[in-house]
Amino acid sequence: MELILECLFNGVAIGSVLLVAALGLAIVFGLMGVINLAHGELMMLGAYSTYVTQLIFKLPALKPFYNAYVIVALVVAFIVSAVVGILLERSVIRRLYGSPLETLLATWGVSLILQQFVRSVPLAYGAGLVLSLLVGFISPFLLPQKLLEGSRGRLVRAASWAFSALVGVLGAGGLGSLVSRLGRASARNVDVTAPSWMRGGIDLWGVTFPIPRLVIIVITFIAVLGITWFLNRSVWGMRIRAVTQNRSMSDCLGISTERVDVLTFGIGSGLAGVAGVAVSLLGSVGPNVGASYIVGCFMVVVLGGVGNLLGTVLASFSIGIMTDLIGAGRLLSIWPDMPTPLASAVDFFATTSMARVLVFALIVVFLQFRPAGLFPQKGRMVEA
Amino acid sequence: MSLSRRLFLGLTSVVLGASVTACSGGDQATGCADCDAEVTVGILHSLSGTMAISESTLVDTEKMAIDEINAAGGIEVGGKSYEIKYIVEDGASDWPTFAEKSKKLIDQDKVPVVFGGWTSASRKAMLPVYESKDAFLYYPIQYEAQECSNNIFYTGATPNQQSEPATEFMFKRSPAAGKPFFLVGSDYVFPRTSNTITKEQVKALGGTVVGEDYLPLGNTEVAPIISKIKKALPSGGVIINTLNGDQNVAFFKQIQDAGITPSKGYFVMSYSIAEEEISTIGPEFLAGHYGAWNYMMSINTRASKKFARDFKNKYGNDRVVADPQESAYNMVYLWKAAVEKAGTFEDNAVREALVGIKFEAPQGPVEVMPNHHLSQTVRIGEITSNGQFKIVESTDGPVLPQAWNQFEPSSKGYACDWTDSRKGEKYRL
């Protein structure tokens, strides 16, 4: 009983990290058909946002609220990654819709640029850049529409960008001087320390449940619920699904497909940021943190069936449970007197590296029989 | 105006603003005013990629040593004093690049010596280059040994100067003395070789190794390893850790949450965690666990304190010094001493002069041995909550290096001696 509970919990814990990381990709790759290799780097930005938020909450004025910084970090990370994702969509990916190979290469390039960016640019400037982009994106919606029309419009827009650049520079300067550590570039990995209530574990029924893992499971659960609600119940969610199913028909019916693309990509990227918060609770935060998750993310989405959220959920939990089952050698504890040759085979695969190999091999075999994943998309395919 | 044009405008203004404020500082090499001539040496470490974090600290330390030598009048050769200049090349965390840049430094820049490398993989890639060109590489990192090149000079610890005393300490005198061992490492050459040695040694000591596991490089999912440790060591024990870089952060954060802590009888001995890593991982996760090195920042001697103080003065008060840096610092001084003893920069004369050179290093006295390794003092430290080591044990004096391991069956009974032409790389004792 203990064994099953522990195995189940570990599986769900590993799976929920995969799931939260793959959720954004399930939207970007699954719904839009965009192969975004910079997804991992959007996660990395989320992880760095957590780090920056943590440092800001260490300032004397915010110290009393330190315990709650993770919740703020979730919002900050979502916004930061979404803004960068939207910039990426507007500047690069939009021009490459329909050419997957070029998208793949371009986004890989972007991922390298982002990695080097956090290595060589002080985080305060990065934060300032995101801040000015955010203000720049939002200001056209806040200004009265009248101002933006006609010949004056250009000037107003230029002025609003100049204003947002100023906000960014001030923000960067302020942040850099308030928290000196953010004012210097550093290629060093940084550390996100969970507040004290999030450390340690709960012992229940002979099994230890580490609290950060529980927090990640909760974050994942909320993210999945939220995104399901958004896609199925909200107006924009329905528009997204409509564009996914038939772009030209949706266009004819008056849906602004371009806005839908921006929104979808923004949400997908924002979820990557949320995943970054989750990942930062487990390990260290560094330029390469995203790269180690990206392959796993694609595997989950493909296994689950492209374009299907339920598939993504089931795929990540099954990969999680399998990893634990094989990697921790559980089969031996479940069936202690199995025949020796079988036992030695199980023992051989009972290391983390071999478990990874075996899980990937099993997925490859599975995809031979079900090339479209667990839940193949029925009907019209997403246009490539 | 399209959105992208506007974006571009916004971007440039921010970047401009940033670059204006970013323009300050930079390296200022202290020259040698009275020197008659110059000599240029090569420095080859990763300044980009995964290893940049660790290797850039070595570049900083080597520059510091060179500046110190220059300030003190440079190198004296044949009545002339030479100022040391350096060319820094980037190995880019990519092993073939290390070989390529080595060729460039030797053939094009004609440097008499290259200080470089960190990972064993980079050293293995460079080794054929130096052997074929009969050039000389100084390599500063503690490593798995089982190698002894005539063209490489190793200033880091061999296993018998780090892991072997550490294993013995854990088995005999640590709070977990006599308890079983579990070995955890990253999946590449150093941890696997090191763990083979540890397994043989634990067996020889009469202890048991109840399990081992390797994490693929770049993977930070340690949950299965944690369940295996809890199953294999239900009532505490020793965990020997050879994980690499950021995998340590995931490991230490998660074992603490899972209740694998010193207060519950689990003690981790790490071979790749020095002061620099402690500050990255966070001392709150590491306090009470152990590490083993030749140099620790907390060594309470004048030389050690001066080394730490000089480094902080040069690079900032929040910086720390650690064993690999001390090793890199020593090798510059040892090269200087060898050149001055030989009276020339010529490779073979320097190589012969090098053996037997003694140096008062920050860790204490070190001496170059005939197998091109250093005799060094070994220290075991308990990590404290302020991010330093509390030295709990240190050897009486320097320990002689063994290039060929004496616990590993394939190399048992062999040694290396380059001063005797009949012995060379590997001879039977």
Residues of A in contact with B216 (CB under 8 A): 352-353, 356
The arithmetic mean of pLDDT across residues B146-153, rounded, is: 89
- The pLDDT of residue A336: 72
Quick check: A316 pLDDT over 80? Answer: yes
Q: With 70 as the cut, is the pLDDT of residue A246 above it?
A: yes
Nearest to A283 among B225, B249, B284 (CB): B249
Contacts of A329 in chain B (CB under 8 A): 228
The H or E element that residue B32 is part of is none
CB contact under 8 A, A355 and B256: no
B residues 34-63 lying closer than 8 A (beta carbon) to A: 48, 50, 52-53, 56
pLDDT at B290 over 90: yes
Residue owning tokens 């900050």: A76
Helical segments of B134-267, H only: 163-172, 189-205, 223-232, 247-257
Band the pLDDT of A91: cuts 50, 70, 90.
confident
Probe site for chain A from B221, B247, B318 (most A CB atoms < 10 A): B221
Query: Which amino acid, A17?
Result: V
Which band of pLDDT confidence, cut at 50, 70 and 90, is reported for residue A78?
A: very high
C-alpha dist (Å) from residue A331 to A357, A358, B223: 17, 14, 16
DSSP H stretches of helix in B111-246: 120-133, 163-172, 189-205, 223-232
The DSSP 8-state label assigned to residue A26 in this structure reads I
Q: Are strands B389-394 and B414-417 parallel, antiparallel or unpaired?
A: unpaired
Q: Which two tokens stand for residue A113?
A: 């640029």
> What would the two tokens of residue A100 be?
């997957």
Question: What 3-state class would DSSP assign to B364?
Answer: strand
How far is the C-alpha of B322 from the C-alpha of B274, rounded, in Å? 6
CA distance B19 to chain A (A): 9
Rounded to the nearest angstrom, the minimum Cα separation between B408 and chain A is 23
Is residue A232 within a helix (H) or strand (E), and if so which, with residue range? helix A211-233
**For B283-294, b where at least 16 C-beta lie within 10 A, e where not — what string?**
eebbbebbbbbb
| Mean pLDDT value across residues A96-119 | 85
Residue A330: pLDDT band with limits 50, 70, 90: confident
Number of H helices, E strands in chain A: 16, 2
Q: pLDDT higher for A381 or A274?
A: A274
Place of tokens 């200033």: B155
- Report d(CA B297, CA B288) in Å as an integer: 17
Please check the confidence at residue A189 and state whether its pLDDT lies above 80: no
Six token digits for residue A69? 């910084």
- Euclidean distance between CA atoms A321 and A315, whole angstroms: 10
Q: At what angle do helices A257-282 and A69-91 cross, to 10 degrees?
A: 140
What confidence tens digit (pLDDT) does each residue in B190-213 have?
A: 888 889 889 989 998 888 999 888
Structure tokens of A59? 């300032």
The pLDDT, as a whole number, for residue B152 is: 92
Determine how many CB atoms are found less than 10 A away from the CB of residue B241: 24
Confidence of residue B249 (pLDDT cuts 50, 70, 90): confident
**CATH class of domain segment(s) A2-121+184-378:** mainly alpha
SS3 of A118, please?
A: helix
pLDDT score for B270: 92
Q: Look at B246 and A91 and tell me if their CB atoms are within 8 Å.
A: no
Distance CA B166, CA B194 (A): 12
Query: For A191, which of B50, B231, B280 is closest by C-beta distance?
Result: B280
Phi, psi of A113 (to 5 degrees): -60, -45
Contacts of residue A17 in chain B, CB cutoff 8 Å?
221
Least confident of A94-98, A229-233, B335-339, B403-407: A94-98
Mean predicted lDDT score pLDDT of chain A: 81
On whether the CB atoms of residues B99 and B91 are closer than 8 A, the answer is no
Contacts of A288 in chain B (CB under 8 A): 50, 218, 246
d(CA A59, CA A64) in angstroms, rounded, equals 10
Note which residues in 205-244 of chain B have CB less than 8 A from chain A: 212-216, 218-225, 227-228, 230-231
Which of B48, B51, B253 to probe the A interface (max A CBs under 10 A)? B253
CB-based contact, B13 to chain A, within 8 Å:
yes
Put simply, the chain B residues between 270 and 289 with a CB less than 8 A from any chain A CB are: 280-282, 284
pLDDT over threshold 50, residue B8 = no
**Structural domain boundaries in chain A:** 2-121+184-378
Distance of alpha carbon A97 from the chain centroid: 21
**Residue B396 scores a pLDDT above 60:** yes
Answer for the pair A355, A41: CB distance below 8 angstroms, yes or no.
Answer: no
Going by pLDDT thresholds of 50, 70 and 90, the confidence category of residue B25 is: very low
Pair of tokens at residue A119: 């290595």
> According to the model, what pLDDT value does residue B28 have?
42
Specify the pLDDT at position B30.
Answer: 55
State which amino acid sits at residue A124. Answer: A
Residues 251-280 on A with a CB inside 8 Å of B are none
pLDDT for the residue numbered B26: 36
pLDDT at B17: 41
Q: At what angle do helices A291-304 and A352-369 cross, to 10 degrees?
A: 30
Residues of B in contact with A173 (CB under 8 A): 21
The pLDDT > 90 percentage for chain A reads: 7
Predicted complex: ipTM over 0.90? no
